[in-house]
Structure 1
Amino acid sequence: MTNEIEIKYEEEFILNSRGMKQLTSRWIPVNENPKALIFICHGYAMECSITMNSTARRLVKGGYAVYGIDYEGHGKSDGLPGLVQDFDCVIDDCFQHFSNICEKSENKKKMRYLLGESMGGAVALLLHRKNPDYWDGAILAAPMCKIAKELRPNAMMVSILSALSKVIPTWKIIPTVDIVDIAFKVPEVREQVKANKYCYKGKPRLRTGYELHRIATDIEQRLNEVSLPFLVLHGEEDRVTDKSVSKQLHDVASSSDKTLKLYPGMWHGLLYGEPPENLEIVFSDIFNWIEERSKNGNTRLERELKEQNDDSVKAFNSQGLS
């Protein structure tokens, strides 16, 4: 790209419906009208302002405006670190913030895409389920449609953990390997994540583990309900989320526009955990996919305008008849 796009980064705390402060991040191209809006949904124990920063900046240099929010119990937002009390509240918080941005007058005609990584992929799919016609597409990087077998407790343990999560929800006793060590291929990235004080460390809390298992099971059982255009990306060597369910999502989703990219030799952290040459491949696929959809015009906006026009005609006709 000949002209380097200048990036303006801003942070703002907002209050959610439960009175908790949440950090929101935005990366905007300076003196450029963004081609589209991209809303990033970060992974479990991660956050937006630091771990997703390089991803956001790549996207802005491609001409897009990027927005993120740290979930309750994550990053710089309020809540006990690492605790997801109710995943439905996470979805409500994200939808409230993202839709407020979409409905601003300067953004109404812009296409809107979700980019979810790992648990954020589950967030993106549930945001779509909450309002199926609202988004123009989703990029799902190693989405948590099912937790990998080696990280998943057996059926008896799930039953015990589910019962305990109601009594001692904040306890950190779920047995699991260190996810950071098996998620990111580049050692420097692993060290950066471990050194980031806003990333949660330690065993998953009981309630969080219960909620992640509940949501992953629910999504896996309802993959056929996914209807928006999507690009799903998965490393062949992923040991955190199950790539077979990404294949299943691609096969059974009712979307007419769906693409699956599997990357031999790549791990879980596709957006910033791989060597530079692999990141180039992944982001080239992301940019090509968004550009292709943007070229086809904003069918969602056309549909909304038609519905508004139809409603106006109905209202006019009813007034004329009354």
Structure 2
Amino acid sequence: MKTVVGKKERWEGKVKGRLMPPGGGIAEEVKPPAPVLKVLTLMSNVLPKAKLFPQKDLAELAFRDLRKRKMAVYNVICYKDQTRLKTAVELLKVTSEIEKQVEKVSSPLLILHGAADKVTDPLVSQFLYEKASTKDKTLKLYDDGYHCILEGEPDERIFTVLNDIVSWLDYRVSS
């Protein structure tokens, strides 16, 4: 929800699914070890377009519903190639920078996260909830939910998440 006031844009609320770059706070299980990360960071200055950054198939970690996991490979908007070295390093840097400034989040905030997410640690959402300066904030952790709570879960769970979003928005629009 965004309003333009004069020349300034003002956010009236956020639904956190991807406020932190891609999800922020990448889980330790999917991050490269610190020494490897240091080497990759140095190499990114010399070979920025190199696709040397280790790639893991995250479908198993992101999609709980097996049928939807199999269909994920057909998603035409999903980038399937290895991440370029400089892109990966910059994503890690910006994630760290956002984590340092999370207290500046002052708009109403709905944070949704799968409690069994192995790609983005659910503690990151807890951290955002605790540190954001807004008084109007809601954190919903979905038991057994994986990373893709709006596409990789059983339909019943997806409808629950969508209903939670609509209810949260409806309450704020009507008040």
Please indicate the TM-score interval, normalised by the length of the shorter structure: 0.7 to 0.9
Q: Looking at CA atoms only, which structure, 1 or 2, has the larger radius of gyration?
A: 1
Aligned equivalents of 1:160 and 1:249: distance in 2? Answer: 30
Q: Paired residues, what number?
A: 170
List alignment gaps of at least 5 residues for structure 2: none
Match of 1:252 in 2: 131
Aligned equivalents of 2:110 and 2:163: distance in 1? Answer: 12
Alignment of 1:262-277 (within 5 A): 262-277=141-156
State the one-letter code of the partner of 2:84. R
Q: CA deviation at 1:174?
A: 1.6
Q: CA deviation at 1:154?
A: 2.4
Aligned equivalents of 2:68 and 2:155: distance in 1? Answer: 12
Alignment of 1:50-129 (within 5 A): none
Match of 1:236 in 2: 115
Q: Is residue 261 of structure 1 aligned with residue 137 of structure 2?
A: no
Query: Which deviates more from structure 2 when the two are superposed, residues 232-241 or residues 163-172?
Result: 163-172
Q: Secondary structure at the match of 1:150?
A: coil
Give 1:286's match in structure 2, choosing from 151, 155, 165. Answer: 165
State the one-letter code of the partner of 1:275. P
Q: CA deviation at 1:221?
A: 1.6
Match of 1:301 in 2: none
Q: Is residue 161 of structure 1 aligned with residue 24 of structure 2?
A: no
Give 2:99's match in structure 1, choosing from 211, 220, 242. Answer: 220
Q: CA deviation at 1:216?
A: 1.1
Q: CA deviation at 1:181?
A: 2.3
Give 1:141's match in structure 2, choosing from 7, 14, 17. Answer: 17
Aligned equivalents of 2:50 and 2:60: distance in 1? Answer: 22
Query: Which deviates more from structure 2 when the two are superposed, residues 147-156 or residues 134-143?
Result: 134-143
State the one-letter code of the partner of 1:235. G
The alignment's C-alpha RMSD in Å is 2.0
Q: Is residue 196 of structure 1 aligned with residue 111 of structure 2?
A: no
Q: Is residue 150 of structure 1 aligned with residue 29 of structure 2?
A: yes
Match of 2:49 in 1: 170
Going from structure 1 to structure 2, the CA distance change for 1:290 and 1:138 (only over 3 Å counts) comes to same
TM-score, normalised with respect to structure 1: 0.49
List alignment gaps of at least 5 residues for structure 1: 1-36, 38-98, 109-130, 297-322
Identity of aligned residues (%): 36
Between 1 and 2, higher relative CO (CA 8 Å, sep ≥ 6) is seen in: 2
Q: Secondary structure at the match of 2:11?
A: coil
Q: Secondary structure at the match of 1:222?
A: helix
Q: CA deviation at 1:153?
A: 1.7
Q: Is residue 187 of structure 1 aligned with residue 66 of structure 2?
A: yes
Query: Which deviates more from structure 2 when the two are superposed, residues 170-179 or residues 208-217?
Result: 170-179
Aligned equivalents of 2:128 and 2:78: distance in 1? Answer: 29
For residues 168-192 of structure 1, the C-alpha deviation after alignment (integer angstroms, 9 at most, x for no partner) is 1222222242112211112232233
